[in-house]
């Protein structure tokens, strides 16, 4: 089915997805299940593409072919370098009036520059990063916050709502959502760094980590972040929050660049970033965030075998 026929058949715009990894797979799944004609390109996780095709998506051979068929393209990739490379492939083949929605965790200054460059070519850009976990996204219960013109956000709100039951316009220009995403991630990654040190100290003093979990659970500091972290610290569930240490390191690096750009102090983020950098240097980068407690355990007792997967 051609792009024009797909649009006519459903009454909905044709949606392209680039990046169907942990978060993007769930996003794309929800879009196609809720009736949007969907185009995808090959991903290193072949399982995701095959699943989406079974649900009704059409696989395109490359990004340029996808761009030629779509009214809107959603990006959910690792970071700013990947976004820039993909946008460069989209532009030559883009349909007039194309909108790109960047759901990656990217750098705000890169997003601002791309928005200006794309605008000169008649292409719109919104930044719409996500919060919550891959499971929430799969269930259509992610949170997204969106930077850009209000009328453009409202135009694409129905699409965003297929994977996010909370859509929050930032009220700011393109790039503002990516800035807020980095600040939000400092909260999550900062807390994770605190939990890591706490559980390592629990181990150091010979206390029961399950008792510590119960103490915090029944305090004002209980939250979803603590509970998912504790699933590894207490129950050894490494998949409790599937977000890698190396990605956390990337996000805090972006945050520090943003802070430096604005001349802001980075007292808390510096400590959390050094913890994650150390984990990457220790070969733990592909482990998930709840496993950063192993970094502190290794520092407290280099001879311990508790850091082994």
Q: Per residue in 167-206, pLDDT tens? A: 999 999 999 999 999 999 999 999 999 999 999 999 999 9
Question: Catalytic residue positions?
Answer: 181
Q: What is the mean pLDDT of residues 85-99?
A: 96
Q: Are residues 197 and 74 in the same domain?
A: no
Report yes or no on 305 lying in a domain.
no
Please provide the average confidence, as pLDDT, over all residues in the chain: 93
- Residue 8 shares a structural domain with residue 67: yes
- Within the chain, strands assigned E span 15-18, 38-41, 58-60, 72-75, 99-102, 124-127, 130-131, 142-146, 164-169
Contacts of residue 241, Cβ cutoff 8 Å, sequence gap at least 6: 133, 228, 229, 231, 288, 289, 290
Same domain, 86 and 136: yes
Verify that 162 and 196 share a domain, yes or no. Answer: no
Q: Which of 126, 141, 172 is the last residue of a domain?
A: 172
Where a domain ends, among 172, 201, 216? Answer: 172
Identify the CATH number of the domain in which residue 14 sits. 3.40.50.720
Query: 260: domain CATH number?
Result: 1.10.1040.10
Predicted pLDDT of residue 52: 96
Q: pLDDT tier at 113 (50, 70, 90 boundaries)?
A: very high
Residues 113 and 42 in one domain: yes
Contacts 24+ apart (CB under 8 A), 279-287: 279/245, 279/249, 280/245, 280/246, 280/249, 284/245, 285/244, 285/245, 285/246, 285/249, 286/244, 286/245, 286/246, 287/238, 287/244, 287/245
- At residue 238, the pLDDT reads 87
| pLDDT value of position 305 | 61
**pLDDT at 79 exceeding the cut of 70:** yes
Q: Is residue 307 part of a domain?
A: no
Q: Which of 127, 155, 172 is the last residue of a domain?
A: 172
- Same domain? For 51 and 163 the reply is yes
Is 217 a member of any domain? yes
pTM (2 d.p.): 0.90
**Res 306 pLDDT > 60:** no
Q: How far apart are CA 50 and CA 57, in angstroms?
A: 9
The whole domain housing 85 covers 3-172
Q: Residue 152: pLDDT above 90?
A: yes
Whether 256 is covered by a domain: the verdict is yes
For residues 143 and 226, membership in a common domain is answered with: no
pLDDT tens, position by position, 33-43: 999 999 999 87
pLDDT confidence of residue 308? 57
In a domain, 125, yes or no: yes
Same-domain pairing of 284 and 197: yes
91 and 197, same structural domain? Answer: no
Same domain assignment for residues 24 and 149:
yes
Q: What is d(CA 164, CA 140) in angstroms, rounded to the nearest whole number? A: 5
Both 226 and 120 in one domain: the answer is no
Q: Are residues 128 and 10 in the same domain?
A: yes
Per the structure, the count of domains in the chain is 2
């Amino acid at each position: 089915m051609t792009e024009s026929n797909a649009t006519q058949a459903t009454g909905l715009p044709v949606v392209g997805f680039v990046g169907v990894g942990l978060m993007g797979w769930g996003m794309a799944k929800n879009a196609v299940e809720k009736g949007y004609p969907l185009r995808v390109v090959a991903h290193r996780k072949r399982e995701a593409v095959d699943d989406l095709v079974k649900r009704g998506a059409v696989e395109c051979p490359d990004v340029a072919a996808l761009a030629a068929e779509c009214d809107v393209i959603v990006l959910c990739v690792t970071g700013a370098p990947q976004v820039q490379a993909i946008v460069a492939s989209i532009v030559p083949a883009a349909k007039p009036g194309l909108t790109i929605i960047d759901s990656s965790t990217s750098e705000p200054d890169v997003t601002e520059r791309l928005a200006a460059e794309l605008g000169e070519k008649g292409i719109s850009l919104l930044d719409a990063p996500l919060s919550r976990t891959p499971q929430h996204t799969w269930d259509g219960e992610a949170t997204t916050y969106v930077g850009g013109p209000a009328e453009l956000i409202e135009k694409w709100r129905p699409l965003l709502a297929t994977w996010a039951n909370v859509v929050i316009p930032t009220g700011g220009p393109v790039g503002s959502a990516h800035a807020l995403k980095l600040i939000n991630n400092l909260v999550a990654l900062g807390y994770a760094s605190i939990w890591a040190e706490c559980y390592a100290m629990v181990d150091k003093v010979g206390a029961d980590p399950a008792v510590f979990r119960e103490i915090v659970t029944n305090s004002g500091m209980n939250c979803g972040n603590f509970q998912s972290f504790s699933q590894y610290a207490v129950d050894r569930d490494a998949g409790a929050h599937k977000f890698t240490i190396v990605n956390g390191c990337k996000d805090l690096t972006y945050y520090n660049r943003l802070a430096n750009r604005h001349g802001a102090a980075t007292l808390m983020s510096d400590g959390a970033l050094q913890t994650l950098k150390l984990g990457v240097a220790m070969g733990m980068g592909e482990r998930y965030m709840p496993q950063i407690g192993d970094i502190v355990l290794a520092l407290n007792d280099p001879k311990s075998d508790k850091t082994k997967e």
